[in-house]
Amino acid sequence: MKRERSARILATLGPASSTLERIRTLAEAGADVFRLNFSHGSHADHAERLELIRQVEQELGRPIGVLMDLQGPKLRVGRFAAGKVVLAPGARFRLDLSPEDGDEHRANLPHPEIFAALEAGTDLLLDDGKLRLRVDAFGPDFADTTVLVGGVLSDRKGVNVPGVVLPISPLTAKDRADLDFGLSLGVDWVALSFVQRPEDIREAREIIGDRAWIMAKLEKPAAIEHLEPIVALADGIMVARGDLGVELPPQQVPVLQRRIVRAARAAGRPVVVATQMLESMISAPVPTRAEASDVATAIYDGADAVMLSAESASGQYPVEAVGIMHRIICEVEQDPAWREGLEASHTPAGANTPDAICCALRRVVALLEPAATVAYTSSGFSALRASRERPVAPILALTPQLGTARRLALAWGVHPIPFEQVADVTEMVAHAAGASVSHGFAAPGDNIVVIAGLPFGRSGSTNLLHVERIPR
């Protein structure tokens, strides 16, 4: 049950990591949560992987979270008669709704919603930003552009429209079918792609309800303009640096990463830093020094988790990637400067009872140096508020809800432990002491600090803090 680190590891499963033995090895190497990427693979593939995850969970006796990542809208040009064309800088190029194959003068763009949102001077990025077009004139079914940055453009390459809020739902028909399937399997988190505004979270919430927690993937510049409202509505945040780095200059991405992490931490939302963290390990057994520093930077900033994508899904060294990420995190968390940075970037608690209790928890832990803090929680709220404070002592989240335990596997410093319901405070404290000892967090004679909400079972009611010395 016990991890010797506070930050968590989210590992993507795929062709390189789909057997029971491989998933077990990844979990033993340090993976806390597994990601099922619904941009790839069939429903049958994902169902089989989730079943194997649950089997590993039973074998290891530790809750393991499962995150389903929805594909979201994919904006692409159509096909070309020759398969590809070369666009020269300064050339004129038209995009339109005509289904005919394209040539060096025009191409199909089957997305009327893009034309509806354009303005003169808008830039269009093609093929992950390799080509750039400027919109000169447009209508409901076309855009005449000038090529600013040319190159080869081939069939079905992606289109990005930076700086423009597109009138598109983040949930396509495919996403809705995938979501229905994933929720039926019992996934714990849903990563929502193409988030542009707070309304996108509300739309997803109407479908998901309380069956899973929602993680907003911040990959569009428009989302940054609504950062605080999106963070407030979501259950977690992902810094999706891949698409964010396409639509924004690369020098802006590190600054935004830190801003997003701090906004999520201030709100008490788990935040994941993702994309290309150990990219070279897709084909190499060790990362570059720059990649190691990239992972370390996210940990120094206080991110709840760091994510592996192709490294663990399709790379040649998935276990080694998880292992080195684990060791980087452990090394950073042993550096006194890491704790100093967390303290310096800590944001004040809100003027409400749960925040006041957890703020007091942080201070009590600093003064008494207990072996562990224990959050008794049904919804996960108490554990997340404790995690927000980044206390020195590990956080045990005792919960009668297995689903809550699995969701909390992603939260900084939280060790979720499924536990039976308790009847009163005396029983709760006794269970907290017993769990702290049995799972190796404390020994007889140690202090523990317990927080909970009374009456039990009411979400958001954290109002009790208790210090207990475990009997010798």
| CATH code of the domain containing 414 | 3.40.1380.20
User: What is the predicted pLDDT for the residue at 1?
Assistant: 66
In terms of domains, do 65 and 90 share one? Answer: no
Q: Which of 22, 24, 54, 76 is catalytic?
A: 76
In terms of domains, do 212 and 328 share one? Answer: yes
Tell which of 115, 135, 160 closes a domain: 160
Active site residue 35: yes
Q: Which of 49, 62, 157, 217 is catalytic?
A: 217
In terms of domains, do 221 and 267 share one? Answer: yes
Give the CATH number, domain containing residue 92. 2.40.33.10
Does residue 148 form part of some domain?
A: yes
pTM for the whole structure: 0.95
Does residue 369 form part of some domain?
A: yes
In terms of domains, do 123 and 26 share one? Answer: no
User: What is the predicted pLDDT for the residue at 460?
Assistant: 77
In terms of domains, do 191 and 322 share one? Answer: yes
Q: Which of 12, 122, 145, 275 is catalytic?
A: 275
User: What is the predicted pLDDT for the residue at 319?
Assistant: 98
Active site residue 275: yes
Domain tally, the chain: 3
In terms of domains, do 139 and 259 share one? Answer: no
In terms of domains, do 68 and 143 share one? Answer: no
Does residue 258 form part of some domain?
A: yes
For CA atoms 195, 263, 459, 419, the dihedral sign is positive
Q: Answer for the pair 54, 76: CB distance below 8 angstroms, yes or no.
A: no
pLDDT in tens, the chain (472 residues): 689 999 999 999 999 999 999 999 999 999 999 999 999 999 999 999 999 999 999 999 999 999 999 999 999 999 999 999 999 999 999 999 999 999 999 999 999 999 999 999 999 999 999 999 999 999 999 999 999 999 999 999 999 998 889 999 999 999 999 999 999 999 999 999 999 999 999 999 999 999 999 999 999 999 999 999 999 999 999 999 988 989 899 999 999 999 999 999 999 999 999 999 999 999 999 999 999 999 999 999 999 999 999 999 999 999 999 999 999 999 999 999 999 999 999 999 899 999 999 999 999 999 999 999 999 999 999 999 999 999 999 999 999 999 999 999 999 999 999 988 888 899 999 999 999 999 999 999 999 999 999 888 777 789 999 999 999 8
Helix 318-333 to helix 289-300 angle (10° resolution) is: 50
For CA atoms 385, 244, 65, 199, the dihedral sign is positive
User: What is the predicted pLDDT for the residue at 423?
Assistant: 84
Q: C-alpha distances in angstroms, 158 versus 128, 152, 177, 386? A: 7, 13, 23, 42
Q: Answer for the pair 8, 236: CB distance below 8 angstroms, yes or no.
A: no
Neighbours of 447 (CB within 10 A): 18
Q: Which of 3, 5, 8, 35 is catalytic?
A: 35
Tell which of 160, 194, 210 closes a domain: 160
Active site residue 404: no
In terms of domains, do 232 and 295 share one? Answer: yes
Does residue 207 form part of some domain?
A: yes
In terms of domains, do 174 and 153 share one? Answer: no
Does residue 358 form part of some domain?
A: yes
Task: Show the domain range for 150.
Answer: 84-160
In terms of domains, do 17 and 112 share one? Answer: no
In terms of domains, do 442 and 465 share one? Answer: yes
Does residue 79 form part of some domain?
A: no
Tell which of 287, 308, 335 closes a domain: 335
> 427 by DSSP, 3-state: which?
helix
In terms of domains, do 210 and 143 share one? Answer: no
Does residue 2 form part of some domain?
A: no
Does residue 290 form part of some domain?
A: yes
Q: How far apart (Å, rounded) are the C-alpha atoms in residues 183 and 209?
A: 10
